[in-house]
Amino acid sequence: MPLADVLHDVLGYKSVKQSCSTGICGACTIRINGEARKSCLHMAGQAADSNISTVEGLSKNGSMSPLQEAFIDNFSFQCGFCTPGFLMSAAALLDENSAPSEEEIRDSLHGNICRCTGYLSIIDGVKDAAKRITEGGN
């Protein structure tokens, strides 16, 4: 089975969305061993020994991460279907580079498609998250 199906349908991680199921839209993006990956393209068996994280793992002790809070405050989503994928791509970027340039943000999100926001508010959300992380030491 595709990893996206196992995570969503079998294990109940409802943040893992599927739209295209062909690696184009990024809605199913999760992190595998820290890297942002499209879970519709991975077979579950291939990921058996991997460290996998989804949006459900972003919050700590019941509190949202600075990235999640920044997405809310910057209106970085409308319908929200694409949002988990964007969050996981952005989280992978910010773990590697806590002060990315706009070009680096755009590059890290190039595999994620949003039909609602026009992208600028998403980029603003990632910029704001970087600021919060840098200033807050998270």
Q: How far is the CB of 97 from ligand FES (least distance, A)?
A: 23
Type of residue numbered 136: G
How many of the chain's residues bind ligand FES (CB under 6 A)? 23
| Interacting positions 34-93 with ligand FES (CB under 6 A) | 38, 40, 77-83
- CB count within 10 Å of CB 28 equals 29
Q: How far is the CB of 135 from ligand FES (least distance, A)?
A: 27
Q: How far is the CB of 63 from ligand FES (least distance, A)?
A: 23
> Which part of the chain contacts ligand FES (CB under 6 A), choosing from 26-34, 65-73, 92-100, 126-134?
26-34
Q: How far is the CB of 124 from ligand FES (least distance, A)?
A: 14
Locus of tokens 């079998």:
10
| Interacting positions 2-21 with ligand FES (CB under 6 A) | 18-21
Q: What is the residue-wise DSSP string for 31-98?
A: EETTEEEEGGGSBGGGGTTS-EE-GGGT-BTTB--HHHHHHHHTT--SS-SSHHHHHHHHHHHHHH-S
User: Does 25 help bind ligand FES (rule: CB under 6 A)?
Assistant: yes
Question: Which C-beta is closer to ligand FES: that of 65 or that of 76?
Answer: 76
User: Largest alpha-carbon pair distance within the chain?
Assistant: 42
Type of residue numbered 76: S
Tell me how far apart the alpha carbons of residues 117 and 5 are, in angstroms, rounded to a whole number.
26
Nearest to 119 by CA among 105, 138, 135, 133: 105
Q: Candidates 1, 10, 24, 64: give the one binding ligand FES (CB under 6 A).
A: 24
Residues that bind ligand FES (CB under 6 A): 18-21, 23-28, 38, 40, 77-83, 114-117
